[in-house]
Amino acid sequence: MATWRIVPLDAGDFLAFEKSRFTYQRNVGEKIQAPCLVWLLLGGPEPVLVDLGPTPPEEAERVHGWAMRREPRHDLVAQLKAHRVNPEDVETVLVTHLHWDHVSNAHLFPRARIYVQRRELAYAAAPLYPQRGSYEADEPSPPWMRNWGRYVVLDGDREVVPGVTAHLLPGHTPGSQGIGVETADGVYLIAGDNVDLFENWEGAPGLPHIPGSIFVNLEDYLRSFARMETLARFVLPSHDMRVLERPEYP
């Protein structure tokens, strides 16, 4: 079994994100800085990426109204090369879901196959109208659709490469998947936006976990939380600056 290391890469930051979007019915009006994380998995038979980061800041502001920062330090290619990985070395990418801030930048990785759940592709094609914006469904070329022809479609759980397993975990979206990674310290789960912040997983008095505010079915979400407890020893969130306090996990 491969023993992996997980390197978080910051692909761009939301500058004043409404925290209540991350914490269901809590923190209304509080603004936080939130990174868009891409994960580089090293130590196995090949480098693997989880998620692809957001569109450029000018597009994010035009389409979504979010102020973002992308500086030279956010450059994905430069960050990969710092770990001796070239873009053409990446042949496997797993996306946790198809929202615009997780599925852009595939063009940087010309040889990559992109693993996604069938349920996520189906929902992205026809999302409920309050969630059309997250998929840029009214744009002429949504980020997820630019990758058409490169997807490897999954139906539920599957080990993609030795020690890296996709788990179907509906919640934030109907086809969200978490990525279980075997490390020297046990399994880590890259949770996608089911867990935006560490505090989503840590919970609060009376709440074992705190869901985000964006979901289709709350019962599915809570069932996925319960299942996540059985899948991994450690859970990594998708938009928490605290993740970047460590250069790699474990």
pLDDT tens-digit map of 139-153: 999 999 999 999 999
d(CA 39, CA 212): 21
The pLDDT of residue 4 is above 80? yes
5-18/68-69 β-pairing: antiparallel
d(CA 9, CA 76): 7
pLDDT value at residue 2 = 77
* % of residues, the chain, pLDDT over 70: 100
The pLDDT of residue 1 is above 80? no
Rg (C-alpha) for the chain, rounded Å, is: 17
What ranges do the domains of the chain cover?
5-243
pLDDT value at residue 107 = 97
pLDDT digits (tens, 9 = 90+) for 60-79: 999 999 999 999 999 999 99
pLDDT value at residue 244 = 98
Question: Domain 5-243 has what CATH class?
Answer: alpha beta
pLDDT value at residue 209 = 98
pLDDT value at residue 211 = 98
pLDDT value at residue 158 = 98
The whole-chain average pLDDT of the chain stands at 97
Provide CB contacts within 8 A for 97, sequence distance 6+: 103, 120, 172, 173, 175, 176, 177, 192, 193
- CA 135: distance to chain centroid? 14
Arithmetic mean of pLDDT, 115-125: 98
pLDDT digits (tens, 9 = 90+) for 171-210: 999 999 999 999 999 999 999 999 999 999 999 999 999 9
pLDDT digits (tens, 9 = 90+) for 23-52: 999 999 999 999 999 999 999 999 999 999
* % of residues, the chain, pLDDT over 90: 99
